[in-house]
Structure 1
Amino acid sequence: DIGIRHPDLAGAYLAGVECDGATYHSSATARDRDKVREQVLRGLGWNIVRVWSTDWWFDLEGCTERLHASLAALLEESRRKQAEQQESEAAIHWDMGHKVDPMDPLPAEDLASAGEPEHPSIKSEPELVAAPLATGERPSASAGILPAAAHSTHDTVPTGGRYRLTDLTGFSTSPDQFYDFVYRGTLRSMVDAVIEQEGPLRDDVLAQRIARAHGWLRTGNKIRERIDLHLREFDRTEESSGSFLWKRGTVVDLLDYRMPFDADARRSIADIPIAELAAVVVANEDILEQSDPALDLARLLGVERLAAISRSRLDEAIDRAQRNLAST
């Protein structure tokens, strides 16, 4: 009957208070219905506290104290769990929700500039690929990455474009209404906007975009669950770095690599779908002739230090590119 807002977490509730009367519960059907409702609410993560009207009427002060004590205990337990979770996360370095392995520097001989390199390296920060081109410039051989269509005869490869972050400032966001039924239209519109602008992209990256738009620095399970309700209409591809969301009917084996629109739009290798990475290899087949194709691909993308988990993902892209080339 009453929702108690959590004092520490915007948009979250500490508990639900149900006010029950003796007359109402004289019916067996009502009691059964209440039990089912409580089970459903607890299954959704709610803490339920009951207040009996008889107690409230005859012992208002005592009933109030017991209610306050119950809520205080729930708050203390919630804060304890939050503190434990923060301590656990502080010991691990995370990159967009994925644990980052220690990165090995490139071999000295690979960093030496002996003459003109076969693939001019694009300077960027470690683990962020492909620094943006100048405004109006298109990906080309001189930029270090060729458009996949330039060397590919596959008509399944869509036209590439720029990857830019979705501007969600135009939406009227309300953290307090995030979990309310009436807010579902706003959430769905935000999901559609991100997928339209950035898809294919990982579902956890999508959730982070929407969480940040609401002012939240963390994306908890409840936020993810609420957003996931609006993802059923999209296609998915399950990859080693996570689940990628695509607009319905657009999943392909090769997808033209999308250069970042600006520095903020640079992605880590884990954030780029295999279809894009494989398209870069198909567009630059001589990568396959190198002694270390994954390392050469990383340098082409502008990655200066290659983590083990990123190397594994680039190997996946190379395998897909080889299969694609062998079938043509």
Structure 2
Amino acid sequence: IKQNIEDYKALIEKFKELTIKETAAIVSSRMPSINEKSPESSLQGILNKAIKGKCRGKSIRQLFEEVSGILTKIFPVFLMSPMSCAQYLSPKMPKFDIVIFDEASQMPTSEAIGAIARGKSLIVVGDSKQMPPTSFFQSKGLVDIDSNLDDLESILDDCDVIGMPSRCLSWHYRSKHESLIRFSNAKFYGNNLVTFPSPNDMLNKVSFVNTKGIYGVKKATNEIEAKAIVKEVARRLKSPELREKSIGIVTFSSVQQEMVEDLLQDMFSKHKDLELINLQSKEPIIVKNLENIQGDERDVILLSVCYGPDNKGKMYYRFGPINNPGGEKRLNVAISRARYEMIVFASFEPELLNNMKSESRGAQELANFLKYAKYGSDALVVPNGSVIESKVGIEKQIGEKLREKGYKVNIDVGKSSFRVDVGIINPDNENEYILGVLCDSYSYESALTSKDRNIVQPNALDLLGWNIMRVWSFDYYDNPKQVIDDICKKIEDIRQHPEEYKHSALDNPQMNIEFESKDIKQENYSKPYIMYEKQYDIYGTRNENMNVKLKIIEDILNNEAPISEELLRNRFANAIGATRAGPSIQEDMFYCLRNLGVKKNTNYSQTKNFYWRKDQSSDLDYYRVGGEKPRAMDDVPKEELIVAIKEVLLNNGPIFKEDLKRYVALAFDIKAVGRKVDVTIDDCVQCYLSKNLLTMIDNDTRIALVSQVQEKIK
């Protein structure tokens, strides 16, 4: 089984790699070529000109609409706000295949409709337990968030009301320690989030600091608390180890946010080295408030409650928007931004809120959270019905036998529906587990897919720093002593060689895939033109050498058909050594053509005859160029000319007819567009317009392939 699982993992990794490569290949194959040679009237030429001229005299919206035929081929994904969609994307543009809304709980329906209308299908992603849109956003930030702000209906709410199909994404990955999300999971999600325990699960990564600050001395702020936060920031930036983790600061009010920002800038102005460290970090420090932190995350979050006793020691139990209806959603957002650690800065002890009589759920949950931050899981009162029942199998027996060996063991490690079945505490550090044992128990059984059971769950634990060992029930029942011995051997090996098992929790493993860079392929349907140049010495009477002449005509057709009557006559005369193609030579040529049964058609306003081999299809997929002397344009059959026209339009998109003539002529090595070229291409275009292969667009100013227009409509 172990080998089968390893093979399965290898196949999954290979499949991921191939999927990425295939996606890149598909996107690359659609990429149009944009270069100096693109016709100015082509979409590529228009875009090229706009880029060079920095879009002078033309708005981005106008440019996007004008080059919409190639825009999504160059940029298959647009990352935009709904306002940007309305500003830059004309409704006349082709629709996107799919529109995806993220953080949809914050998006008013009225603002989302415009973006939705620009797509063929819709995915709305959001969390109904987090912040709804408020009138704060409509006020453009002119109203302080302490004001009473009305919650608005979101696109997420409306999609739910109309019964759109929905799926719940229950696995939680952001928090690298279960204590960071446990409060939210228990209080707001009914313990339905699947979270993963950490190797140091016995620790609490949410801590509490009472700064003994005073609220309201300066414009509804708490300067002591703000200074304590900035001091903590400086401490972390000075430490080579601590500075590796990014910092986010969240305040309960906008004025407190401004004070923290000002104090932070003062600190940086005095310590330029710390400012440089911050600027060079992968994620610089952010300072945000309850209303605008959603969607952000950092390794460490410093939370400023701000509100507290005034300078007379009186507490008013007002916590800004937390007290308002829906305040618990704002609290949920604020306390779920950390990846590794959260420090809560307050100016009072949590017990001060025991006598609070507020009916606001937000205020009540804040009181509960402050107790959780100070006292840990022991202070967490879990609502009825949200306690995860422990289901134990062979792990209990394994635990008992390991205890007999002298190890300290916990069974069912974790606080959500996923558990590490057996956690063996490190004999050298009682604050961490040295090894976790996964059995084919409840967590294994409840996973929906083989990939979840055998790859996703172990990988999630590996990223958190666990050393994991898998034990199968039938192995244990078959030979329990051997299984226990293997576990003990693994534990001692980790103790003896800790460096080999060391995890870097900050490492984010990425798949390294190398892509071969190639120039964008342009369509090219041309092939070399092979002229018939053989000459014969003709003897005897006219009738006596007719068989030789038949062979010459046949060879010319094999080389050059389809060929115009004029070129065929000249090639025939040259082959038999005639100085000019007089009436007798023409008569012999027609005689041979009749005997060979060749096909003849007439095109270009009924002025030119072309001859084809008897077995030759008139549906060509190539055109011919080169030869000792380029053919005149009217010596090219329309069946060949349309292939060159198709190539130009495929490579450049719809263009003006004059540009089309110029580029088609160049394809046949004709440098100037004279009357003959002009009339010949016009004749061909009219023919294929009537056959619905070509079409005129943009008020009959550009010519395009019908297939290009149909693709744009789709």
Give the shorter-chain TM-score range: 0.3 to 0.5
Could you say which structure has the greater relative contact order, defined with CA pairs below 8 angstroms and 6 or more residues apart?
1
Q: Normalized against structure 2, the TM-score is what? A: 0.23
- Please identify the structure whose Cα radius of gyration is greater: 2
